[in-house]
Amino acid sequence: MGARLVRSSWVQRLGRISFLGTLDFHPGSTTASTRLEHSLGVARLGVDMAAALELDHETTRSFVAACLLHDIGHFPLSHAAEPGFARALGVAHHGVSEWIILGNGPIPASLSLRPLLEAEGLDPELVWSLITGDARLGPLHRSLSRLLLAPINLDTLDGIVRAARAFGIRGVRVRAPLFSRRGDAVAIRSDALPLLDRFWALKDRVYCDVINLPSNIVCEARLSAAVARRYDRAIFGGFERFDDRVLAPVLDEHLRESGLLEGRDGPFQFRREDDARANAALHLRRARKRYYVDRSVLPRADGLPLEQWSRRYRHERQVMYLVPRRATRQLALPGLARADEPPIPGFSAVDGPDI
């Protein structure tokens, strides 16, 4: 990739942003890591997969750069306060990533990664297109982009295992080769399906037992509301220095008030919409995701083709409401958006984080 890119202030900034955000403060967390460690982990998988797919040198460099930079625009504490930042700034971390890579927004080209990428012989537009899955990509690059965007992707292959390890959940060992290539088409190898089936079950457990911890949902909501009141687009004037430390003055209060520091998850429960209407002022809306494998979707002789991945590796999304077990307990969670406000492209505060 070039040492200058890896050592750049933008990439090194990710080392000052925690991977799980406020979840790192939950007593169930035993091993914290950073967005930099995650990004390097995804890049390492990219190197391995590129070798297994026998990509040429230049294609490998562009693909690994996309793996390394896919999270470059994350806000402090990763997803924890993103609803507040997105509402206040009108952009989610994905949009900020585009500005940093292409230099086409509030972050000027001269301060972006564009000059450095070009100096390393990398095309910033191609790198960004691999991250976003631009329809104008050629067939091979489009297939490689799906390795960052499809249900089975290198981002979550690292992220879910990393989150499981943080909370002492037994994970899976992700190793190459997982994918095969025929021409420009990529497929999951038949002999990799048992491992990926176990990974998909692990993803379900991580979302159920870690991502949806009630005290953390409450903490994120409180922190996001505070962030929405506190920051504006002036932060982009020094975004290279905008990391977890800037939230320290507001973080401690919400960690304590939400009960996250003590892991107080018992006072809350999830209910369906019709059960929550009676206490509309006391609930917090959340989309809960469940993941399951449809083993009736079988591979062909050359593996499971890309268009079948979303059929075998399925998920369901159900909007639930986090409510107090006792009606006398007040959540006091102000909403982040009015009903008449337009949605922010690429972002939903309801869905919660997508590791």
User: Burial, 221: exposed, middle or buried (Cβ in 10 Å; 0-12, 13-18, 19+)?
Assistant: buried
Sign of torsion, CA 95 100 105 106? Answer: positive
- Give residue 332's pLDDT band: very low, low, confident or very high (50, 70, 90): low
pLDDT score for 339: 45
Helix (H) or strand (E) holding 288: strand 284-293
Helix (H) or strand (E) holding 279: none
pLDDT at 271 over 90: no
Spatial distance between the Cα atoms of 160 and 207, rounded to a whole number of angstroms: 9
Contact 103, 109 (CB under 8 A): yes
- Give residue 342's pLDDT band: very low, low, confident or very high (50, 70, 90): low
pLDDT score for 277: 60
Q: Give SS3 for 160.
A: helix
Task: Provide the mean pLDDT of the chain.
Answer: 91
pLDDT, tens digit, 9 for 90 and up, residues 122-178:
999 999 999 999 989 999 999 999 999 999 999 999 999 999 999 999 989 988 789
Spatial distance between the Cα atoms of 314 and 144, rounded to a whole number of angstroms: 21
Among 57-71, 84-98, 341-355, which stretch is predicted with the lowest mean pLDDT?
341-355
Contact 16, 34 (CB under 8 A): yes
Q: Which domains does the chain have, with CATH numbers?
A: 3-324 (1.10.3210.10)
Spatial distance between the Cα atoms of 271 and 152, rounded to a whole number of angstroms: 30
Contact 319, 285 (CB under 8 A): yes
pLDDT score for 184: 96
pLDDT at 336 over 60: no
Token output for 34:
């950073």
Spell out the residues 6+ positions from residue 11 whose beta carbon is closer than 8 angstroms to its own: 5, 36, 39, 68, 69, 72
pLDDT score for 285: 86
Q: Give SS3 for 242.
A: coil
Spell out the residues 6+ positions from residue 126 whose beta carbon is closer than 8 angstroms to its own: 62, 141
Residue 45's closest CA among 185, 135, 156, 141? Answer: 156
Q: Around 292, how many Cα atoms within 13 Å sit in the side-chain half-sphere?
A: 6
Spatial distance between the Cα atoms of 203 and 208, rounded to a whole number of angstroms: 9
Q: Taking residues 235-250, what's their average pLDDT?
A: 94
How many CB atoms are located within 10 Å of the residue 151 CB?
A: 17
Q: Around 76, how many Cα atoms within 13 Å sit in the side-chain half-sphere?
A: 20
Token output for 246:
């800037």
Among 13-17, 64-68, 274-278, 284-288, which stretch is predicted with the lowest mean pLDDT?
274-278
pTM equals 0.93
pLDDT at 330 over 60: no
Residue 109's closest CA among 120, 129, 125? Answer: 125
Pairing of strands 284-293, 185-188: unpaired
User: Burial, 173: exposed, middle or buried (Cβ in 10 Å; 0-12, 13-18, 19+)?
Assistant: exposed
Token output for 9:
């202030």
How many CB atoms are located within 10 Å of the residue 62 CB?
A: 21
Distance of CA 30 to CAs 20, 25, 151, 168, 251, Å? 12, 9, 28, 7, 20
Contact 201, 291 (CB under 8 A): yes
pLDDT, tens digit, 9 for 90 and up, residues 278-323:
565 568 888 889 999 999 999 999 999 999 999 999 999 988 888 8
Spell out the residues 6+ positions from residue 191 whose beta carbon is closer than 8 angstroms to its own: none
Task: Give how far the C-alpha of residue 192 lies from the chain's centroid of Cα atoms, to the nearest Å.
Answer: 24
Task: Give how far the C-alpha of residue 163 lies from the chain's centroid of Cα atoms, to the nearest Å.
Answer: 11
pLDDT score for 338: 46
